Amino acid sequence: MQAEGAAVSGIAVALAGGAIRGSIPYIFVSLGECLTEKSGRINLGMEGVLLMGAMTAFGISDWSGSPWLGVLTAAAVGALLGLLHAGLTELPRVNDVAAGIAMIVFGSGLAFFFGKRFVAPMAPQLPVIDFGGWSSDPAIHSALRISPLFFLGIAGAFTLHYVLANTRWGLRVLAVGDAPEAARSMGISIRNKRMVATVIGASLAAVGGAHLTLYFPGIWSEGISGGQGLMAVALVIFARWSPRRCLAAALLFGAAQALGPSLQTAGITGYYHLFNASPYLLTLIVMIASCSHRKTLTGMPGALAAARG
Amino acid sequence: MSAPVLIEALRITKAFGSMRAVDDVSLTIRPATFHAIVGENGAGKSTLVKCLLGFQSSDAGEIRVDNQLYTMASPGDARRLGMGMVFQHFTLVPSLTVAENLSLARPDLPAIIHWDQHHSRIAEFLGHAPFKVDLDRRVAHLAAGEKQKVEILKQLYLATRILILDEPTSVLTPAEADEVLGVLRGMVDAGKLSVVMITHKLREVMQFADEVTILRRGRCVGHAMVRDMTVPRLAELMVGESKPQEEIEKTTPVSSSGPALHVRDLEVRGDNGLPAVRRLSLAVNPGEILGIAGVSGNGQKELVQAIGGQRPIESGDILVGGRNFHPSRNAIRESGLFTLPEEPLQNATVPGMSVAENLALRKFDRFPIAKAGFLLDRVALMESAREAIRTFSIRPPSPRVPIRSLSGGNVQRAVLARDLGSGDARIVVVSNPCFGLDFAASAFVHNHLMELRNRGGSVLLASAHLAEVLKLADRIVVMSGGEIVYETLRAHLDMSVIGRHMGGHAAA
């Protein structure tokens, strides 16, 4: 009886720790995507940005010995990719969804190409903040070794919420995304607002990528993102385009991702691969639930609704 | 608070290619007057005020402000003079609140907004404002009339002294229109505001304006004080020498042989997933035009789409000749039930296909255009298209051009040619058929609907223009909130009762 209780609490602790760990890329990518979509544009290329961020952060950290420099460089590379997407989409007759898919291929190809030499070594990792010192339980200990990026992500969500609700720039981004014609009539430049939103959005997503390679176990591999960049797009829909709800949704996706490994630590190994598929399953459920053509989603920026017909 | 200035636009000309949209037109806006600009579609009204506001540069002519020459290079220049415009389409952001929308328009909006301070500032402004609106409501939840009020409030909040309105009452009920224009009239009388209103509603001109300028095909054909004007004279000036098309009268009585189209307890959801049509029942008899009046957005669009098969039905039945109707290609052909949705270019044509192909959409798979049931005979297709173009005078008369290159009126003509020209139509469901059309084109559409009625056909006409419903219908129902809230025969009509029901303020 007691053993069973310990197993359950063990799973819970592992799940909580895994949720926090796993949520970080989701938080950053979804915040970036949320901002981009709020301006009325979809950047499906986040998967490519995530991989480029992961590879860049790893390479720079390895080369300079400073993981924080790796994070910053990743953010800069992300911004460049965002600029490329924004520039492409500004061209006449270029569709943002198609440009995004091209960016997935381009970003991941570039990341794999430059990442070839990094497959073996281990780069310096970001320091972790240890919240589990009070406990003697090694499981709790390891679950509460939290990356500082998690707190940056939380701060990012609240900051983005504040910026959208309480600043001139944020209000104008919302106007451009929800009613471009109205924004134009007020003399707001649609192109500028979307450009800046896409660049910042991609930059955030690249920071999410940095977490993938600069946190335990801290290695670079081509399969490292596992489609999280694409799943984050579904997550934004699930969060109804609200930065704070993105945070909660990211934790949910993180938990789904941690389900398989947590059960494994508790010794439940049956259906391991099935449990590992849970974030994909969750994405599928979200997409089916939200893609009913009968309704437009509340919170959806008007320009996106119009584009989807 | 400064008084409005005198604005003179002298001999303005603006051409688009070889077409002179505005040709040598002068306009004087005297301080604290209400000036109406009337004219048909394409008469150059909008272009003229856009030149006046610096949204477009004029090719010739000058603008004087208080007798000084003034360069109106950008909307900002007009703004500095206190000129502001309420456009035909809403320029509000639906997902933001009224307060956020009002703030967004201000050029002096600070980089970081302290909402409590800002809020009290707006509330103070609203204290003196002519309309009351709830600042914290999202614009998406406002009715069209309230949105129009917010548009005007936005201009007043921007300290506009010369307010230019482009068809401001097209989305309002008559009562709402009177309220809004009455308030503006009051501000003009108080010397706070000059108003320039573009309209085609002559009643509003006569009731509210001081002066009127009449444009026709880009030229100014008349200018007068309203007190020296009459409605017939105004209409004559607007339409010009070309005699307005003769109107077809109702010649036959409504048949009593039982309904041709019967809608029973219909429930349909809107785009937002919420019920848009609620347990609605109606019947249209042969030889009858049933008009659906109501402010747009009360379920008319969804109703028409549901009957036409463009929108799934939650529950209820659509019966044609007593039998259940499912809009398949065969059922449409057999029943002769055709739907003419609003915005025909998007909803009733394939914009990229040629006029000829669009004209053949209902019959391309039948003899004589289809040979052996599947081969398309291009010669026959062109032949039938040329004939339709001739009988319905579609301009330009070239069957090969993509239909989206046609003007709105000609797209509507092409759709009518396709659906009514063959004589196969027995029941027609039509929604805002004259939206964006001028006098002549509207009369053309109306005549065809009337002709169908006189032939014993049935017409279900949903229109946001009450005048159109009144002109055509034998019987009128008012739709509000997805339900029919009132029904009357045309002959027993009481305008004030209709207006009350349209506004959703029916007496219990």
Q: Which domain holds residue B326?
A: 261-502
Flag whether residue A186 sits within 8 Å of chain B, measured between CB atoms.
Answer: yes
Could you give the angle at the alpha carbon of A172 between the alpha carbons of A168 and A174, nearest 5°?
Answer: 120
How many Å lie between the alpha carbon of B75 and the closest alpha carbon of chain A? Answer: 9
In this prediction, residue A309 carries a pLDDT of 39
Q: Which residues 278-307 on chain A approach chain B with CB closer than 8 angstroms?
A: 292, 294-296, 298-299, 301-302
What pLDDT score does B42 carry? Answer: 66
Within a domain: residue B249? no
- Give me the mean pLDDT over the B55-76 stretch: 86
B52 min Cα distance to partner chain A (Å): 16
B271 near A CB under 8 A: yes
The vertex-B405 CA angle with B50 and B403, nearest 5°, equals 140
At residue A297, the pLDDT reads 63
pLDDT of residue B397: 82
User: Does the CB of B95 have a partner CB in chain A at under 8 Å?
Assistant: yes
Judged by a CB distance cut-off of 8 A, whether residue B100 touches chain A is yes
Kindly report the pTM of this predicted structure.
Answer: 0.75
3-state secondary structure of B278: strand
Contacts of A34 in chain B (CB under 8 A): none
The verdict on residue B148 lying in a domain is yes
The predicted pLDDT at position B251 comes to 80
Whichever domain contains A139, its CATH number is 1.10.3470
Structurally, how many domains does chain B consist of?
A: 2
Q: Does A63 touch chain B (CB under 8 A)?
A: no
The whole domain housing A176 covers: 2-308
* B367 in the same domain as B234: no
Q: Which token pair is B151?
A: 């548009």
Query: Are residue B170 and residue B301 in the same domain, yes or no?
Result: no
Counting one residue from chain A and one from chain B, the pairs whose CB atoms sit within 8 A come to 65
- Residue A183, chain B, CB below 8 Å: the answer is yes
Chain A: closest CA distance from residue B493 (Å):
37
Average pLDDT, chain A: 87
Kindly report, residue by residue over B317-335, the tens digit of the pLDDT.
999 988 899 888 888 888 8
Domain with residue B28: its CATH number is 3.40.50.300
Task: Give chain B's length.
Answer: 508
In eight-state DSSP terms, residue A65 is: S
Name the average pLDDT for chain B: 86
DSSP bridge partners of A295: B272
Do B458 and B382 fall within a single domain?
Answer: yes
* CB-CB under 8 Å, B109 with A171: yes
Asked, for residue B347, whether it belongs to a domain, the answer is: yes
Whether residue B230 is found in the same domain as residue B271: no
Give the pLDDT score at B289: 95
Please name the member of A175, A292, A299 whose beta carbon is closest to the beta carbon of B104: A175
Q: Who among B96, B113, B272 is closest to A174 (CB)?
A: B96
Q: The tokens of A92 are what?
A: 């006449």
Low-confidence ranges of chain A (pLDDT < 50): 294, 309
Structure tokens at B55: 């949204």
Q: Average the pLDDT over B36-54 and give the result.
A: 84
Contacts with A, B 61-90, CB within 8 Å:
75-76, 87, 89-90
More reliable by pLDDT, B266 or B46: B266
Query: How confident is the model over B256-298, as pLDDT tens digits?
Result: 788 999 999 999 988 777 888 999 999 999 999 999 988 777 8
Q: In the prediction, which pLDDT does B144 show?
A: 74
Task: Determine the pLDDT at residue B507.
Answer: 40
Would you say residue B11 lies in a domain?
A: yes
Overall average pLDDT of the B229-243 stretch: 74
- With CB atoms and an 8 Å threshold, state whether A294 touches B113: no
What mean pLDDT do residues B485-489 have? 91
- Give the CA dihedral B28, B33, B38, B44, nearest 10 degrees: 40
Which tokens go with A3? Answer: 């053993």
Contact B352/A at CB under 8 A: no
Residue B247 lies in a domain: no
B181 within domain boundaries: yes
Beta strands in B217-302 (DSSP E): 219-225, 261-269, 275-284, 288-293
The reply to whether B325 and B199 lie within a common domain is: no
Rounded to a whole number, what is the distance in Å from the CA of B499 to chain A's nearest CA? 30
> Of A166, A183, A185, which is closest to B112 when you measure between CB atoms?
A166
Please tell me the predicted confidence (pLDDT) of residue A85: 96
Q: State how many domains chain A has.
A: 1
Tell me: do B462 and B363 sit in the same domain: yes
pLDDT greater at residue A88 or residue B167: A88
Residue B386 has pLDDT above 80, yes or no: yes
B-contacting residues in A 162-181 (Cβ below 8 Å): 166-169, 171-172, 174-175, 178-179, 181
Residue B373: pLDDT above 80? Answer: no
pLDDT at B57 over 90: no
Give a yes or no: residue B176 inside a domain. Answer: yes
* Distance in Å, alpha carbon of B251 to nearest chain A alpha carbon: 43
Q: Is the same domain home to B105 and B158?
A: yes
Q: How far, in Å, CA of A242 to CA of A245, rounded?
A: 5
My answer on whether B475 and B406 are in the same domain is yes
Is the pLDDT higher at B54 or at A307?
B54
pLDDT of residue B508: 36
Q: Which helix (H) or strand (E) holds B364?
A: none
